[in-house]
């Protein structure tokens, strides 16, 4: 998810890394809560952080970046180690706390933008752009939920994937109208993050159909 050439490392990559750290931390804490062993905790952290991007890379038919690059993996392992340290020392942090939720929202927004970029560059349709943005942002968490036996949270309870879809819609509209990539990325990240922050603040949920 790194290596986008048109932006300095200090901006977009930093957002991605913060997101990877938050995703890995939340996933590993979830693993500890479900009484997994140390390998299970590490796998859950890695899957939560990297699973969405790997799924996206499979869809656009390329070898997952996470299996060839190393920077992302080191960030993820750092997140897992922090989680293990916290749990071993009588954890004071909940995955519902703002200290996890805000970096998680950053990750969701940055990952959605990365997914939209990859899908756009691969020539996918508008639907394909939305699918890749949503999967990159939420696919890792969904796989984590399945691994511990839950229906993925994004399907039942929250205003979460919707933020990625809204950001990716803005990206697609702007790019289709001829806007340059940084504009599309900024809109995607901004819209997704603001929506997610509002959803956390005001406890938004999507309605059910019935």
Residue 35 near its own copies by CB under 8 A: yes
Using the structure block, give the residue that is written with the tokens 């511990």. 148
Distances (CA, A) of 202 to 5, 38, 96, 138, 205: 37, 36, 14, 21, 9
198 near its own copies (CB under 8 A):
no
As measured in angstroms, the least distance from the Cβ of 29 to its own copies is 9
Stretch that binds its own copies, among 58-66, 95-103, 168-176, 192-200 (CB under 8 A): 58-66
When asked if residue 166 is in the footprint of its own copies (CB under 8 A), the reply is no
Measured from the CB atom, the residue of 8 and 123 that comes closer to its own copies is 123
Are 154 and 141 in contact by the 8 Å Cβ rule? The answer is: yes
Using CB under 8 A as the criterion, what x/- string covers residues 112-141 for binding its own copies?
Answer: -------x--xxxxxxx--xx---------
Q: How far apart are CA 154 and CA 141, in angstroms?
A: 9
**Smallest separation (angstroms) from its own copies to the CB of 67:** 3
CB nearer its own copies, residue 144 or residue 186? 144
Q: CB under 8 Å to 39, separation ≥6 — which residues?
A: none
* Interaction between residue 7 and its own copies (CB under 8 A): no
**Rounded (5°) CA angle 1-198-181:** 35
Q: Does 97 bind its own copies (CB under 8 A)?
A: no
Residue 174 as a binder of its own copies (CB under 8 A): the answer is: no
Helices 38-59, 14-33: inter-axial angle, 10-degree rounding: 130
Residue 151 to residue 165: CA distance in whole angstroms? 20
Phi-psi sector, 123: left (phi>0), alpha (psi -120 to 50), beta: left
Residues making contact with its own copies (CB under 8 A):
31-32, 34-41, 43-44, 54, 58-64, 66-70, 73, 84, 87-88, 119, 122-128, 131-132, 146-152, 154-157, 161-162, 165, 205-210
């Amino acid at each position: 998810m790194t290596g986008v050439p048109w932006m300095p490392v200090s901006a977009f990559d930093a957002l991605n890394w913060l997101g990877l750290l938050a995703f890995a931390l939340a996933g590993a804490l979830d693993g500890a809560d479900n009484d997994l062993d140390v390998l299970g905790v590490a796998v859950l952290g890695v899957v939560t952080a990297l699973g969405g991007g790997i799924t996206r890379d499979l869809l656009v038919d390329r070898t997952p970046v996470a299996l060839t690059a190393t920077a992302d993996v080191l960030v993820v392992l750092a997140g897992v180690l922090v989680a293990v340290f916290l749990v071993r020392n009588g954890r004071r942090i909940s995955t519902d706390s703002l200290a996890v939720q805000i970096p998680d929202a950053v990750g969701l927004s940055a990952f959605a933008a990365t997914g939209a970029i990859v899908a756009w560059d691969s020539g996918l349709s508008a639907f394909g752009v939305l699918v890749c943005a949503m999967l990159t942002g939420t696919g890792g968490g969904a796989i984590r939920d399945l691994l511990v036996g839950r229906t993925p949270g994004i399907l039942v309870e929250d205003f979460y994937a919707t933020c990625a879809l809204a950001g990716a819609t803005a990206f697609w509209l702007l790019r289709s109208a001829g806007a340059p990539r940084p504009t599309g990325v900024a809109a995607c990240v901004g819209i997704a993050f603001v929506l997610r922050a509002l959803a956390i603040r005001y406890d938004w949920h999507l309605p059910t159909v019935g």
